[in-house]
Amino acid sequence: MRAASIDIGTNTIRLLVADCQNNEGFKPIFRKELITRLGGGFASEGGISEAAMARTIDGLKDFQKIITKLRTDEVIAVATSVVRRALNKDTFIEKVRKEAGIEIHLISGVTEAMLAAKGALLPLQEAFDHALIFDIGGGSTEFIFTKGTRHITMESIDLGVVHLAEVFLLNDPPQKNELVALDKTIQAKIQPVKQRFRDYGLYPFKPDCRVILIGIAGTPTTLAAIDLKLVKYERTRVTNHTLNSGRIVEIFQQLTKKTAAERLLIAGLQKGREDLIIPGVLIVKGIMNTFGFSTLRVIDSGILEGIMLSIHHQER
């Protein structure tokens, strides 16, 4: 069976088409990603803007053409943070159904985290006892703690790079007081996650257990691409790339000294992420500092692959 999974995020929409192969899992045959910034200009009173809807629907129409051309048997599309929060979510979902021919499943933060964890652990090349996986999105950040490949707990918090960039980064390059205020906000959001881990008896991590930190989605993969100086993005090189905290600080300092236009000249930084990368890296730094990690492992696999694994298991 040929299947397609679509992730409609606050900043990016992504498509994966793959062939499900009996006991062999699935074989990806096509991938595409478009930055449509669905959450751009989002307001709690007005919801998703008309312009953001139009950009995203145009991208989904493009996805539908590809899906049709590849003769796909099943399509599962999920929407996450910004659609969950939007007062006009039903309008958006109906417009996508009518104009792009795609049925959207609105998933909870917990379901989002479960799918992300399934996909993140699929290509991992390291022995471990526990994994703390984080997924920084445009509208929210998810945390998944696993024992082996079995998830133990999941947290989803209202901490997304699109909103943070729009609220805090008012100057280009950003001023020191903006970065300080942004960092304080991020720390205040992450600390309760740490406390809940304490309450569950999961933190501090046991000294005799191998606990690894895994970052998925746009910010960690961009950090890896910058570190590798990738003029053209390569998933295979990014996945399982490791970064230490010192190198992440170096990249952050490099980014904050430049204007958005100058950042686009940095190898590995995708157009559309030139402003979002700054709050994204601060979230990464905040997570590493809060939980005491000095090394980050980057994985370019997550919700799309998690959906595909679910389709494959259902088919079997």
What's the mean pLDDT when you consider all of the chain?
A: 94
Q: Which class for 62: exposed (0-12), middle (13-18), buried (19 or more C-beta within 10 A)? A: middle
Mean pLDDT, residues 248-263 taken together: 97
Question: Given this model, what pLDDT does residue 43 score?
Answer: 67
**pTM for the model:** 0.92
What letter does residue 203 receive in the DSSP assignment? -
Say whether pLDDT at 102 is over 90: yes
Q: What is the pLDDT of residue 68?
A: 98
Range in 26-35, 77-86, 96-105, 166-175 with the lowest mean pLDDT: 77-86
d(CA 212, CA 167): 32
In three-state secondary structure terms, 262 is helix
Q: Where in the sequence of the chain do the CATH 3.30.420.150 domains occur?
A: 123-300
Start-end of CATH 3.30.420.40 domains in the chain: 2-107
Class of domain 2-107: alpha beta
pLDDT score recorded for residue 316:
45
Give the span between the Cα atoms of 150 and 127, in whole angstroms.
Answer: 14
Average pLDDT, integer, range 266-284: 97
Mean pLDDT of 279-294: 98
What does 24-57 look like in DSSP terms, one character per residue?
Answer: G-EEEEEEEEEE--TTTT-BTTTBS-HHHHHHHH
Q: What would the pLDDT profile of 25-41 be if each residue is shown by its tens digit? A: 899 999 999 999 999 87
CA–CA separation, 255 vs 164, rounded Å?
A: 16
More confident of the two residues 153 and 316: 153
Task: Please state, in angstroms and rounded to a whole number, the distance separating the CA atoms of residues 102 and 6.
Answer: 10
Output the pLDDT for position 42: 75
Rounded CA separation 26/259 (Å): 42
Which tens digit of pLDDT belongs to each residue from 121-177? 999 999 999 999 999 998 889 999 999 988 899 998 999 999 999 999 999 999 999
Q: Could you tell me how far CA 186 lies from the centroid of its own chain? A: 16
* CA-based torsion, 32, 36, 37, 38: positive or negative: negative
Residues 71-99, mean pLDDT to the nearest whole number? 95
Q: Mean pLDDT over residues 235-262, rounded?
A: 97
Q: Using one digit for the tens of pLDDT, what is the confidence trace for 192-202? A: 999 999 999 99
Q: Which class would CATH give 123-300?
A: alpha beta
Give mean pLDDT, residues 167-188. 97
